[in-house]
Structure 1
Amino acid sequence: MARLLLMRKNSAPKQIELSAERTLVGRDASNDLRIDHPQVSRHHVEFRVEGGTTWLIDLASRNGTRVNGRRVKHCVLQHGDVVAIGDCDIRFLTRHTHFELPKDLSLTDWNRAA
């Protein structure tokens, strides 16, 4: 099952399983994953699972969405892709891996290692 690893500055990483066909992300409380940050739109992106494929769809967000540093409107996600939304980096994971982030590892180090 696909998972999202949410990483924010000064916060512990948080894992979320993509168990539904659609997972909505944004600033509004009605989203499945709420990110309270001024650069995140109320309804920012959707993760959509179809068959064995996971799509990322930008919902016409004001500040856009980047995948691996490239601005996208929609794309098929691959294991290890990093989605940047506001002050968050969301790593898309499909393989089951044990994950522990060392306490002294910065977000920059984490992105460089991927």
Structure 2
Amino acid sequence: MVSDNDKDFEAPVETTSVFREEFINELDAGAATSSEPADTGVERLSPGTALLVVKRGPNAGSRFLLDQPTTSAGRHPDSDIFLDDVTVSRRHAEFRVADNQFQVVDVGSLNGTYVNREPVDTAQLSNGDEVQIGKFRLVFLSGPSGS
């Protein structure tokens, strides 16, 4: 009876870690330029929405849907994207969308916001861009434009 429970418990753990490792390796290998990020669910996004996937950080693999005009990110528990680490300011950045164009805006963070490893105050986002907030690295994946 105990061995049956152990077998059931071990299989999902291995599958999950292999998927996460393959996904991160795919992103590191330049999947950002691919028009079909296979395992992200981007193809199911509504027009004018986007997805942030945590590539590196305590919650690697987590996904955050950007489907509001403004989405806040920070260490404050009321943030839309809660990034719980001391390298993240309480109110760190905002993701804004207008006319299907997304941008990230640093809202006075201590450690800054980076897009593709370059410090930014405000930056327009393109599919596959890497946004760094504290020690979190998030990949921006946009849905269909709807045009």
Q: TM-score range by the shorter chain?
A: 0.7 to 0.9
In structure 1, list runs of 5 or more residues that go unmatched: 97-114
Query: Is 1:5 matched up with 2:53?
Result: yes
Q: Which of 46, 61, 74 in structure 2 is aligned with 1:26?
A: 74
Give 3-state SS (helix, strand or coil) of 1:31's partner: coil
For residues 57 and 89 of structure 2, what CA distance do their matches in structure 1 show?
19
Alpha-carbon distance in structure 2 between the residues aligned to 1:95 and 1:55: 14
Please state how far the C-alpha of 1:94 moved relative to its aligned partner: 1.0
- TM-score, normalised by the number of residues in structure 2: 0.61
The answer for unaligned runs of 5 or more in structure 2 is 1-48
Higher Rg of the two aligned structures = 2
Provide the TM-score with structure 1 as the length reference.
0.78
What is the one-letter code of the residue matched to 1:90? L
The letter for the 1-side match of 2:110 is R
The share of aligned pairs that are identical, in percent, is 35
Q: What is the rounded CA distance, in whole Å, between the counterparts of 2:73 and 2:58 in structure 1? A: 20
2:65 to 1, 17, 28: 17
Task: Summarize the Cα distance change of 1:12–1:55 in structure 2 as closer, same or farther, 3 Å threshold.
Answer: closer
CA shift at 1:11, angstroms? 4.0
Residue number in structure 2 paired with 1:63: 111
The letter for the 2-side match of 1:77 is L
Aligned with 2:133 (options 66, 82, 85): 85
Which structure has greater helix proportion? 2
Q: Which runs of 4+ in 1 moved over 2 A?
A: 7-12
Structure 1 counterpart of 2:82, which letter?
R
Per the alignment, residue 73 of structure 1 pairs with: 121
In 2 relative to 1, CA 24–62 (structure 1 residues): closer, same or farther, beyond 3 Å? same
Structure holding more strand per residue: 1
CA RMSD of aligned residues (A): 1.5
1:33–1:10 Cα change, 3 Å: closer
Q: Which moved more, 1:12-21 or 1:54-63?
A: 12-21
